[in-house]
Amino acid sequence: MDLFGIVGAGLMGTDLALFIAESGNRVVLCDNDRRALDISEQKMTTRLKKYVDKGKMVQATADEILSRIVIHANLHGFPDVDVAIECVTEELEIKREVFRQLDELCKPGVILASNTSSKSITAIAAATRRPESVIGIHFMNPVRAMRLVEIVCGLATTRETFETAKHVVKHFGKEYVEVRDYPGFISNRILMPMINEAIFALYEDAGTVEAIDKVMKLGMNQPMGPLELADLIGLDIVLAVLEELFKGFGDPKYRPCPLLKRYVAAGYLGRKSGRGFYTY
């Protein structure tokens, strides 16, 4: 298992591609947005430079890591991959189209994985002629630091595919949990309502951004406050996951806060846009 294909050069795709290359594997990173690829390449170069400047890595190692990553504006190279991982935006039809293409291009026996944080693996798999090979491998952000991965089997996913996914996760030194194919899985089903409630607290003027985060950090011993964490995840992603939870369960406890919708509409997406609940 040497060549990994990553579709999507956004925050997670970039982070995952670099992490896989750091682990000694070759990566093909694909995105049909050339600008996204340029930004991704710059981010990876900048991050490795920081490691070198801090003495955590020598320049030769950084150069070797970058040499393992090949960037394409299409799915060129995917016929050779051993594992394909989709990291595109949290929109089901976009993901299904990616999987249709992967189904056409990837060789038999390759597992087709989605890094989705909320969408149905069963629905994604139904877009292919090999649903038994489709699985969710949900890495947490940031990939390098977070130890846990959720492995999500769809209705048709075989145990053989699950065992291969386990091997991939263990290969990267991560812990895994097997979760059912419900909206938000386990992590976001629990996390997103907390973040949403923090946004409601801000919306209702229960406290400032700083006060809300301080309560959760110092009072509940969380490493990051919920609003700070939302900015890290991306407010558009938080909104997409909450909408998926609300649609999937039909429970009003998942209703996204109107303030969150306003921020996303304004383009205040968090760290990646330079402004969210905080300014960066």
Amino acid type, 172: F
**Residue 279 has what pLDDT?**
97
55 residue type, one letter: G
Report strand pairing: 134-139 vs 148-153: antiparallel
Give Cβ neighbours of residue 31 (< 8 Å, ≥ 6 apart): 7, 8, 9, 10, 13, 37, 40, 73
Angle at 205 between CA 202 and CA 207, to 5 degrees: 70
Instruction: For the sheet with 26-30, list strands across it.
Output: 69-72, 26-30, 3-7, 83-86, 111-114, 134-139, 148-153, 175-179
**pTM recorded for the entire structure:** 0.91
Please report which helix (H) or strand (E) contains residue 126, including its range.
none
Asked if 12 and 85 touch (Cβ cutoff 8 Å), the reply is no
Which residue has 């594997």 as its token pair?
25
CA 61 to chain CA centroid, Å, is: 26
Catalytic residues: 117, 138, 150, 188
Query: pLDDT at position 230, please?
Result: 97
Angle between helical axes of 235-249 and 226-233 (0-180°, round to 10): 100
CA dist., res. 192 & res. 203, Å (int):
16
| Helix, strand, coil abundance in the chain, percent, nearest 5 | 50, 15, 35
**pLDDT at residue 1 in the model:** 57
Cα(39)–Cα(71) distance, rounded to whole angstroms? 12
Domains along the chain? Answer: 3-179 (3.40.50.720), 188-272 (1.10.1040.10)
Pairing of strands 3-7, 83-86: parallel
Amino acid at 233: I
The pLDDT tens digits along the chain (280 residues) read 589 999 999 999 999 999 999 999 999 999 999 999 999 999 999 999 999 999 999 999 999 999 999 999 999 889 999 999 999 999 999 999 999 999 999 999 999 999 999 999 999 999 999 999 999 999 998 899 999 999 999 999 999 999 999 999 999 999 999 999 999 999 999 999 999 999 999 999 999 999 999 999 999 999 999 999 999 999 999 999 999 999 999 999 999 999 999 999 999 999 999 999 999 9
